[in-house]
Amino acid sequence: MSFREELQKRTAEIEEILRGYLPAETGFQKTVLEAMNYSVTAGGKRLRPMLMQETYRMFGGEGKVIEPFMAAIEMIHTYSLVHDDLPAMDNDEYRRGRKTTHAVYGEAFGILAGDALLNFAFETAAGALCENFNEQTAKAVKILAEKAGIYGMIGGQVVDVESEGQAIGQDKLDFIYRLKTSALIESSMMIGAVLAKAGEEELEKIRQTAEDVGLAFQIQDDILDVTSTLEVLGKPIHSDDKNQKTTYVTLKGLDQAKQDVAEISRRALDTLESLKCKNPFLEELITMLITREK
Amino acid sequence: MSFREELQKRTAEIEEILRGYLPAETGFQKTVLEAMNYSVTAGGKRLRPMLMQETYRMFGGEGKVIEPFMAAIEMIHTYSLVHDDLPAMDNDEYRRGRKTTHAVYGEAFGILAGDALLNFAFETAAGALCENFNEQTAKAVKILAEKAGIYGMIGGQVVDVESEGQAIGQDKLDFIYRLKTSALIESSMMIGAVLAKAGEEELEKIRQTAEDVGLAFQIQDDILDVTSTLEVLGKPIHSDDKNQKTTYVTLKGLDQAKQDVAEISRRALDTLESLKCKNPFLEELITMLITREK
């Protein structure tokens, strides 16, 4: 089976796992449950749960305890997109080729569905904690919370929003990318490692790898925003330009940005290869990020 | 010391505890940290952390493990108010006599500060979990997540929002009140009980008490919305009327509502008194809810 076929197969398996953790659409609060499920099932690469699962496998993890955490990280990722798309934020009508959550369910339910997803991520993780009560699951819950918060994803998100229409320097842009994008990738890979009982030193190497993967991923996002099309990308292009954002491309130019993606990705792979355990699929997955077109 | 003096003293102690768990306002993400702290320090009765602490004391709890959970429940309560006040929701400019968070920091930061508070609540609780790793703290994290989510507070909140401008029946109104208000009170008192190692039967009685306390509290809120003033209440009155909401008062009339608050409060106290452990301060606190003026 080729890497692309394997990727498709594993993505489909992840879709199945995610569906198993979505709430049933019943009860008086049905509308918000529909809005949550609409947001999560809108597609996407499932990169975070996949990185989590592959890191888990790399360290010999075999149980099902990883699954609720895979669902939780995707819920957190999805809530951040739902809130990011709101009129008071990026004001985007399309995401992954479909109408955004607030465009379908209204602004109030865009806010509430996002809140509900964030909370449900922790509800799902806390359920896993009580079912598999050990130090690994406790640490996984802590990583999940920390990397999504003010010293993680939200921290990057707020600086990103605040910097719109302003010229910002490399240090602030790096801060935004490390927190806004890398933090959740770190969370994914670290939780995979922790649940498979990786040691502290291994965990730090995984964190470094993930940080670089996140950086490369985000810079590639900047590149695609100027080089791709709505049809290929499934979301509006030139949105950074529209929102007057400083990006890696505006700061360093397109060619340098492309070179840096390649270099940072290479560094990520080197760090990963320095570990004793191997996962060829994970290596190919990270390599794919350099050349992705959407 | 009178009950009122004791209440003031204990509230001040809680304020001190909460302050200790707020983030330092430094770094590129300073604005959102300020907005979070602005929201939490805007005052309020601190009823939820107080009910948590007093239930903990009632069951003989003496350690500091309760404190991060007191902070966490107040962060969750605060985030729900911050998002509830947003233009796309209740669109309120004032809360507790001060400008609401989005009125000061803008709409985007109203959304993000709310998100940040919700996440930080779980970050705080997860920190406590890893520092005090045992089944009680794990269960406390689970209760915290469940009671704030789609089968708890948010569940009630969305039905409340969706029902605006509609005539709704007693069953739906009860659902809203049990989830929107009682769920967080249940969370508070149940976490206090769990951390003090209360048994399952005691936990269920505490849950019932808390459910009734929440109901009485919410009905009293409806009563004050029609009988109080902006000055006394510290927020706009007749807001339910403005938002065309069905409330307990519009459904059953003012006199019946007042009688029901008294009856439900009495039932809450009876359930509490049926437990072996006693906490006279907690009993007085619940009694106070019947006659509160703001």
Low-confidence ranges of chain A (pLDDT < 70): 230-236, 240-243, 290-291
Helices (H), B163-243: 170-177, 183-195, 200-227, 230-233, 239-242
pLDDT of the residue at A228: 76
What's the ipTM?
0.94
The answer to whether A142 faces chain B, any CB pair under 8 Å, is: yes
A133, HSE (Cβ side, Cα atoms, 13 Å): 13
pLDDT of the residue at B233: 67
Helices (H), chain A: 3-21, 30-40, 47-58, 66-84, 101-105, 107-131, 135-148, 153-162, 170-177, 183-195, 200-227, 230-233, 239-242, 248-252, 254-273, 280-291
Instruction: Indicate the domain borders of chain B.
Output: 3-290
- Distance between CA atoms of residues A14 and A61, nearest Å: 16
Report whether B13 contacts B54 (CB < 8 A): no
pLDDT of the residue at A230: 66
pLDDT of the residue at B234: 64
CA A186 to chain centre: 9
Q: What percent of chain B stands above pLDDT 70?
A: 95
The answer to whether B150 faces chain A, any CB pair under 8 Å, is: yes
pLDDT of the residue at A164: 86
pLDDT of the residue at A234: 64
Chain segment B238-258, per-residue pLDDT in tens: 776 666 778 999 999 999 999
Distance, first Cα to last Cα, chain B: 23
Chain segment B185-205, per-residue pLDDT in tens: 999 999 999 999 999 999 999
Question: In whole angstroms, how large is the CA radius of gyration of chain B?
Answer: 18
The answer to whether A23 faces chain B, any CB pair under 8 Å, is: yes
Tell me A276's DSSP state. S
CB contact under 8 A, B141 and A118: no
The answer to whether B23 faces chain A, any CB pair under 8 Å, is: yes
Average pLDDT, chain A: 93
Look at residue B82 and tell me whether its pLDDT is greater than 70.
Answer: yes
Chain segment B103-146, per-residue pLDDT in tens: 999 999 999 999 999 999 999 999 999 999 999 999 999 999 99
CA angle B275, B278, B282 (to 5 degrees): 110
Q: Give the bridge partners for A99, in sequence order.
A: A94
Q: Considering only CA atoms, which of A189, A214, A215, A199 is closest in space to residue A279?
A: A189
For B118, which of A119, A157, A162 is closest by C-beta distance? A119
CB contact under 8 A, A122 and B145: yes
Longest dimension (CA), chain B: 54
Average pLDDT, chain B: 93
Q: Which residues of B touch A130 (CB under 8 A)?
A: 138-139, 142
Chain segment B261-277, per-residue pLDDT in tens: 989 989 999 999 999 99
Q: How far is B181 from chain A (nearest CA, A)?
A: 15
Q: What kind of fold does domain A3-290 have according to CATH?
A: Farnesyl Diphosphate Synthase (1.10.600)
Report whether A70 contacts A49 (CB < 8 A): yes
The answer to whether A167 faces chain B, any CB pair under 8 Å, is: no
pLDDT of the residue at A290: 66
Report whether A223 contacts A258 (CB < 8 A): yes
